[in-house]
Amino acid sequence: MTGGTRPRRAVLLLLLLLVGVAAPAASGVVTDGLLPNGNFEQGPDESQMSDTRVMSPNAIPHWEISGFVEYIGSGQQQDDMILPVPEGARAVRLGNDATIRQLLSVTQKASYSITFSAARTCAQAEQLNVSVGPESGVLPIQTVYTSSGWDSYSYAFRARHSTVWLSIHNPGHEDDPACGPLIDFIAIKTLSPPRREKGNMLKNGDFEEGPFIFRDTPWGALVPPMEEDKVSPLPGWMVMSDTKVVKYVDAGHHAVPRGARAVELVAGSEVALLQEVRTVAGRTYRLSFSVGDAGNGCAQPLAVRASAASSSQAVTYESRGTGGSRRGELEFAAAADVTRIVFQSMNHHMKPDGTLCGPVVDDISLVGVSKRAARRLFM
Ligand SMILES: *[C@@H]1O[C@H](CO)[C@@H](O)[C@H](O)[C@H]1NC(C)=O
């Protein structure tokens, strides 16, 4: 009898130990969506503020601050400008050298994207430095892509540890120390590794995997330019530009040629959306893709240039601004064992409200073409 209970007790103890160790980590890992107090609706006590400035590092629940951080209510005025807030009634404003940060529990080695909304409040070329652990990226925010003034930006990282600090820092040094962007609505999403669909050499060719888009925000999420070795919020794809972005759009608020997501090329030829793919030099490939409009009033003749190796093809699309798309194709001979597939909008476009817009690309596929088989077919 005693011989039987002892092992059972040992197993029970082991189970308890395992559960005891695993439970806090499992329940603490961030879930997709808004970060704890990611909309800043929970604010500081009045005693921790001087006018709008937050005076204590831990005054905002779930956040730690440093530098000149203001806690802003919807409709609050600055000089004679009203500061709007995109979600709820509260936001923060990052003045000179100000930082907000939050400690995140994540799954080590997993990739995540962060989406947050930002609005410029001063005339200067504002930037935000987003960092997670030792990784950082400086996001240019001087161009405004919405009529509300609020844009959602994305940033991606791979977790090196199971807890990481997410920081958003305004590196500016303006004469007016309060000068700096408003921040609100910070969310996270786990990124699945980019996958190839059967019969397509490209990863995430349909853009179904990408950064978090808030269900209530109609303006998608901007994917900023990134350095080559960085994690992309748009798995498989890279955005190259000095200061411009592409816009990741959702079927909930836009016309999307296929599936639930697509990319709007909003900054003309100043931005390239590209993917590198393994090829065999001398072999022929066929790239096919959809070019359309996002159904957002961009009623102009649009054009996308697709390039690969030394070939390129311009695909024009007459947009009425109400949605729709056509297929385009590019056949090319690879010149090396890696080929860059590049998409660019050929022109700048502006909607009647003055905001930038452009063609949508989606449903991109790449296949090898057997020339010998093709020739046989025509004989
Ligand atoms: C951005 O922030 C990180 C982390 O604080 C820092 O290492 C990096 O130098 C900053 N980059 C710029 C351009 O300020």
| DSSP letters spanning 84-119 | --SSTTEEEEE-TT-EEEEEEE--TT-EEEEEEEEE
Please give the number of the atom of ligand 1 that sits closest to the Cα of 137. Answer: 1
- Give 97's contacts (C-beta < 8 A, 6+ positions apart): 67, 68, 169, 170, 171, 172, 173
For the stretch 231-259, pLDDT in tens is 999 999 999 999 899 999 999 999 999 99
Hey, whose CA ends up nearest to atom 8 of ligand 1?
136
Range of 67-76, 101-110, 190-199 with top mean pLDDT: 101-110
| The pLDDT value given to residue 20 | 43
Please give the number of the atom of ligand 1 that sits closest to the Cα of 99. Answer: 5
Pocket test for ligand 1, best of 136, 141, 168 (most atoms within 8 A of CB): 136
Pocket test for ligand 1, best of 131, 170, 230 (most atoms within 8 A of CB): 131
Measured in Å, residue 129 CA sits from the centre of ligand 1 at: 6
Least confident window among 12-16, 168-172, 228-232, 321-325: 12-16
- Give 366's contacts (C-beta < 8 A, 6+ positions apart): 200, 201, 202, 205, 277, 285, 286, 287, 341
CB count, 10 Å around CB of 182?
A: 23
Domains observed in the chain: 33-191 (2.60.120.260), 272-378 (2.60.120.260)
Q: Residue type for 107, please?
A: T
Residue 23 has pLDDT above 50, yes or no: no
Beta pairing partners, 286: 331, 367
Distance CA 270, CA 307 (A): 15
Quote the distance between the C-alpha of residue 355 and its chain's center: 19
Measured in Å, residue 367 CA sits from the centre of ligand 1 at: 41
CB count, 10 Å around CB of 194?
A: 17
Closest CA to 68 of 87, 49, 40, 44: 49
Distance CA 112, CA 30 (A): 10
Percentage of the residues of the chain whose pLDDT score is greater than 70: 86
Percentage of the residues of the chain whose pLDDT score is greater than 90: 71
Distance CA 360, CA 358 (A): 7
| The pLDDT value given to residue 26 | 42
Residue 168 has pLDDT above 90, yes or no: yes
| The pLDDT value given to residue 6 | 53
Find the mean pLDDT for residues 127-141: 92
pLDDT range class, residue 324, cuts 50, 70, 90:
very high
pLDDT range class, residue 11, cuts 50, 70, 90:
low
pLDDT range class, residue 21, cuts 50, 70, 90:
very low
CB count, 10 Å around CB of 82?
A: 9
Question: Which of the pair, 373 or 42, is modelled with greater confidence?
Answer: 42
Phi, psi (deg, nearest 5) at residue 324:
130, 160
Distance CA 254, CA 232 (A): 22
Residue 76 has pLDDT above 80, yes or no: no
Residue with tokens 């695909």: 315
DSSP-derived 3-state class of residue 28? helix
Hey, whose CA ends up nearest to atom 3 of ligand 1?
136
Phi, psi (deg, nearest 5) at residue 375:
-65, -45
Question: Which of the pair, 197 or 285, is modelled with greater confidence?
Answer: 285
Hey, whose CA ends up nearest to atom 11 of ligand 1?
129
Beta pairing partners, 250: 261
Measured in Å, residue 232 CA sits from the centre of ligand 1 at: 18
Find the mean pLDDT for residues 309-334: 97
Residue 328 has pLDDT above 50, yes or no: yes
CB count, 10 Å around CB of 100?
A: 23
Ligand 1 neighbours, Cβ below 6 Å, are 129, 131, 136, 138, 169, 171
Measured in Å, residue 23 CA sits from the centre of ligand 1 at: 34
Pocket test for ligand 1, best of 97, 129, 230 (most atoms within 8 A of CB): 129
| The pLDDT value given to residue 5 | 47
For the stretch 276-306, pLDDT in tens is 999 999 999 999 999 999 999 999 999 999 9
Phi, psi (deg, nearest 5) at residue 316:
-95, 155
pLDDT range class, residue 155, cuts 50, 70, 90:
very high
